[in-house]
Chains A and B, each alone.
Chain A
Amino acid sequence: MIGVSTILKRDVKRAARSGGTWAYGLVFMVIFLTLSAIALDGEMSTLRRLGVPLIWLAVTFATLMSADRAFSEDIKDGTTGQLWLGGFGYLEQAGSGIFAFGLIHLLPLIITAPLWSVLFDLNSETVIGLVAALLLAFPGIAAFTALAGALTGGQGKGGFLAIFISAPLLVPILIFGVAASQAYAITGWAAVEFRALAGLSLLALAVSVPATAAALAANTDR
């Protein structure tokens, strides 16, 4: 019987054997942040001020670049329909697909964020706030980006379209994400921005899971 864990195991195993294609986002993030630090002339006070927003931008861009990897292969080769016939419905496929996408394409960016924060000389409290905010935003970013991937998965070249669809959806998460990362150093865990971010993530999941399921069903009917 196919379940969420079967899908996760399959996707993680395939990513690990893909010759590093899962790491495109990570490589982009490193290059983007390094070039940003160089472009800002290595001026420490500027780097410290812009470090958090730049890391958030890098995470967002890097995830968007992978948007067309969510669901598109399963839709194109007919796996989505086969899973549905095998009793693994579109809603379950949406949930497990979003989680697998986040795990493979987004989590490595979040885990390595403290490493890149060295470039910007961020203090430890800011780094804790940054990672906590990124983790809270994880479901939201993964859900909206994977939704765009599912919507455009049936297209030949859906990559750009997926970016255009998901970018506006990610703006509120980006705004509150940066605010929460910076608020931790001042108000700690009680910062209202963390609650707003968690709320946005839950909202993203509530909207994206059924919408992704509908997109998968529509893309299977061809």
Chain B
Amino acid sequence: MSYDKCVRCGSCLQFCPMFDATGEEQFSPRGKAYLLQVMDQIEDDEELAKEFRRLLFECSLCGRCEETCSSGVDLLRVWHEQRAKAIETHPEEFAYLEPLKDALANVKNIYGLAAEDRAIYWLDELEDEIPGLADRVYEKGKTTENIIFLGCLMSFRGSQIPVLRSLFQTLEKLEIDYLVMGAEENCCGHPLYLMGNEKGAQELREHNKKVITAAEAKRVISCCPGCLIQLREHHNLEGVEALHHTQFFDRLFEKTKKYDQKEKFSYHDPCELHRILEIKTEPRSLIRKMGIEFKEMDLSCCGGGGLLRMTDPNLSDKIIQLRVAREGVKDTTVITACPSCREQLLGQDLKTKDIVELLSETLDGGAD
């Protein structure tokens, strides 16, 4: 349903991380929907219209507003459409996004690094520890049951290496038939999708689809919920199941060894994983199978989604800082299952572990 069905009841205010961090109504979903409802009165004021377009990008697209909305307004769709319209009609106001768009157009990753380097950094780091890892990188002609889609963050950022190490060690230990897409992987298109640039995103997806099809994979597995949204919902993969790594591993185990728990854990459930992909049970199931005791954190955003880290890094920081202060997680290790959430947590000097890190440790040394 469109924004005109918003009855402006205000129930979304209490859940919106933007409103929580700023305290002002223009950042809230109701405020933005209201602006659309009265746009005919204000659109002639160029400064107001410009401010509104900026506001559209001060949102982490966590989807909590849509989940809360009893009026059934498809708020996420509204924000996507309005973002697309804003960039299309006033590209000059979003010049800061051009380098990202250029990088995606030219080298197919968000960092502007050479496309062939996708499987260089982590391979350098890990191939001594995991013999044969280089052979796991996809090349034309290789086929596999399971193809691993790492995504840009996990392919290029050093902070993600521990997760990758655990992922590969676990796959090896379980003798899974897998390949990593490596240099043949394009960005999944999620950043462009978040800008409302469907055409650009589609070009990236088409290449990925060809590779996945050529590899004859039955499953494509990703640790990144953003990538998984694209793979599952937008790549039109035929006969290929797109899975989050927690889903894949949870299916493999009826039960596991017990994790040797010596620390307190809390669990931050990534918004895109539980709210948009509706993958809620498998991550928790896997944690519980390892016998890990943990505290559930609020089902709220870390501030790392919706391109917010690019469009308003201060707001993004404020959101995670507020949560850290409120939820008392400093003395815990925060479990999560998303590379973007991991970056946000590490940015606050929190200890964090992906679920696959726990699984890898459990398989290595856990108690039966």
Asked if chains A and B come from one complex, the reply is: no
Residues of chain A touching chain B, judged by Cβ–Cβ distance below 8 Å, are: none
